[in-house]
Structure 1
Amino acid sequence: MMNVFMQLVKEKFHLRTVHSELVGFWTYELGGMNKVFHIWKYDSFAHRTAVRAALARDKSWQEDFLSKAQAMMDVQDNEIAYLVPWCKLQKPEKEGVYEKVTFQFKPGGPAVWGESFRAAISAHENTGHTQLVGVFNTEYGLLNQVHVLWWSENAESRAAGRHLAHEDARVVAAVRESVRFLDSQRNVLLTPASFSPMK
């Protein structure tokens, strides 16, 4: 149902975006199939509650999109996450591909693993092989989980950048330090939808 779902989203998703800001909407290219991933911005929990209440009253959203989309979905999951204090959301200037890297850390929170993780991310970013978009720490969902979103011009340049980073002594040293706190890591390659604000 993926193609039918994406066509419905393309035609009717404006009914959702009038209520709050869509940061980005992607489909999985590698690391998963028949999945989408999207990020919404809220000013506060009260703002999110107000948006959800408005959507529940919006007949066009309910009838023209949601009732049709739900019949196509097997699983839906959501999280509340925030940008870590040392990262600002960066919007790439041109179209490309995105890599979402999800790190599951050992219990204890950023007080335990935050400093070494920041050093590892900074080492990757400073090589210039890929562009950091944002670092998000989960508040509701799996705790001690961080999503890092990277941008590359294409999948080939991302693969080349990864190999160069693995040979960079600065990255190797920083990763060796931070991996002590890591339980697992999952990488997926994402393609932005035509209507996604982030391309």
Structure 2
Amino acid sequence: MLALRSSLSRVLAARPAALQVCSSFASGPRQCDGTFYEFRSYYLKPSKMNEFLENMKKYIHLRTAHSELIGYWSIEFGGRTNRVFHIWKYDNFAHRAEVRKALAKDKEWQEQFLIPNLLHMEKQVCDITYLVPWCKIEKPPKEGVYELVTFQMKPGGPALWADAFQKAVNSHVNLQYNKLIGVFHTEYGELNRVHVLWWNESPDSRAAGRHQSHEDPRVVAAVRESANYLESQQNMLLIPASFSPLK
């Protein structure tokens, strides 16, 4: 009996150390609350794009009665066109489940918008993302255009590439080459993927800022370091819908 107690004591005494060792394998810093952002893309039939957006404008109030819309855009360049992209905010997964349940019971939303417009959709993609811990969603100074830059980073998570990536983003922000709206990392979808949402006054102002930043040695050095962890990158120019909160 004494031998058993002695063995148990040694195991319990070792547990904190074991937990401490395991914690070193965490993938990186995490936000403090459960708030997340759902990235939704609808791929539409080319002939139905304008009709879909007009219908959404007419009935968007039925959808936003259930949860917060961050922004709604159409894709102009950088990916398949005839596509809309929108971001929705949820407090946690229970909140999203409640919203989806309520929408399924909302006859006006179902009958006036969803069912008639399902025929216009060819494909739907949904990803769950979190804001990175060092960022919050900002508001643009006025109406403009947006750029969503999606980076596929090497496996390993933020513990591997977060510091270099943050320096690269901040090199543009601190030197005022772009207006940062938000930085998100994917939780459900392609992992090790980071989305950076930028605002610009116009496509031409974006082009001018990009050319200037590429000639700035401070930006070049920061981007070069981050590129060591990069596998691929996609840039999309987004045009905000008339009913989008972010314009």
The TM-score, its normalising length taken from structure 2, stands at 0.80
Partner of 2:183: 135
Partner of 1:5: 52
Q: Percent identity?
A: 62
- Partner of 2:190, secondary structure, is coil
2:62 aligned partner, one-letter code: L
In the alignment, which of 125, 130, 150 is matched to residue 102 of structure 1? 150
Partner of 2:88: 40
Structure ID, larger Rg:
2
Partner of 2:104: 56
Partner of 1:171: 219
- Partner of 1:85, secondary structure, is coil
Q: Does structure 1 residue 192 correspond to structure 2 residue 240?
A: yes
Shift of residue 35, structure 1, vs aligned partner: 0.7
1:105 aligned partner, one-letter code: M
Counting only pairs closer than 5 Å after superposition, residues 114-125 of structure 1 correspond to structure 2 as 114-125=162-173
Shift of residue 24, structure 1, vs aligned partner: 0.5
Shift of residue 73, structure 1, vs aligned partner: 0.5
1:55 aligned partner, one-letter code: L
- Partner of 2:102, secondary structure, is helix
Output the CA distance in 1 between the equivalents of 2:149 and 2:115: 32
- Partner of 1:162, secondary structure, is helix
Partner of 2:65: 18
Superimposed CA distance per residue, residues 69-97 of structure 1 (whole angstroms, 9 cap, x where no aligned partner): 21001110011101100001101121000
Output the CA distance in 2 between the equivalents of 1:45 and 1:167: 44
- Partner of 2:180, secondary structure, is strand
2:195 aligned partner, one-letter code: H
Q: RCO (CA 8 Å, sep 6+): is it higher in 1 or 2?
A: 1
Output the CA distance in 1 between the equivalents of 2:55 and 2:109: 12
Output the CA distance in 2 between the equivalents of 1:31 and 1:181: 22
- Partner of 2:126, secondary structure, is coil
